[in-house]
């Protein structure tokens, strides 16, 4: 149930045990949601090839799930692993900030 939702934002998986577990909260097929998923997928493939797992949750279908991760803004990307949990909101169009948010790049830049 958590793994899959609407047509376009598909879950992408590799076979190995994943170091990075990412969860993307969206609300239906809004342009921002679609953009966020596309941006995330591109980014992960560039920087975390083979080490990530993306779970997309559509809150319109599962509104109760919003509570667990304290989702207010849409879209929100939650880095479940590695710990600590990080949250990145927005359509992830700002690649630099997204990388900082995922702690793939030091925030000094």
Partner 1 sequence: MTKTVTKQKASPPASLLKCPTGIQGLDEITCGGLPHGRTTLVCGGAGCGKTLLGIEFLVRGAMLHNEPGVFFAFEETAEELAQNVRSLGFDLDDLIEKKKLAVDYIYIERSEIEETGEYDLEGLFIRLGYAIDSIGAKRVVLDTLETLFSGLSNVAIVRAELRRLFRWLKQKGVTTIVTAERGDGTLTRHGLEEYVADCVLSLDHRVAGQISTRRLRVVKYRGSTHATNEFPFLIDEGGISVLPITSLQLQHQASIERISSGVPGLDAMLGGQGFFRGSSVLLSGTAGVGKTSLSCHAANACCRRDERCLYFAFEESEAQLLRNMRSIGLDLEPWVKKGLLRFQVARPTMNGLEMHLASIHKQVEAFQPHLVIVDPVTSFLSSGTDTEATSMVIRLVDYLKSHQITALLTNLNHAGSVLEQTDVAISSLIDTWMLLRDIELNGERNRGLYILKSRGMAHSNQIREFLLTERGIQLTEVYLGPEGVLTGSARLSQEAKEQAMAEDRRLEAERKRENLARRQQSLEAQIAVLQLQFQTDKEEMERDIASEQAYVEKLDQSRNEMARSRKADSKGLPVSPKKGRK
Beta carbon nearer to partner 1, 80 or 87: 87
For residue 79, list its beta bridge partners.
22, 86
The C-alpha torsion from 27 through 29 and 35 to 38, rounded to 10°, is 100
To partner 1, the closest distance from the beta carbon of 49 in angstroms equals: 21
To partner 1, the closest distance from the beta carbon of 67 in angstroms equals: 6
To partner 1, the closest distance from the beta carbon of 27 in angstroms equals: 4
Beta carbon nearer to partner 1, 51 or 94: 94
């Amino acid at each position: 149930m958590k793994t899959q939702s609407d047509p376009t934002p598909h879950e992408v998986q590799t076979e190995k045990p994943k170091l990075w577990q990412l969860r993307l909260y969206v609300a239906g097929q809004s342009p921002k949601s679609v953009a966020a998923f596309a941006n995330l997928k591109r980014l992960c493939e560039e920087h975390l090839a083979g080490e990530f797992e993306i779970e997309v949750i559509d809150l319109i279908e599962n509104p109760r799930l919003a509570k667990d991760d304290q989702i207010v803004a849409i879209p929100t990307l939650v880095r479940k692993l590695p710990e600590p949990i990080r949250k990145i909101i927005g359509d992830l169009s700002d690649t630099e900030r997204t990388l900082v948010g995922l702690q793939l790049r030091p925030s000094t830049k």
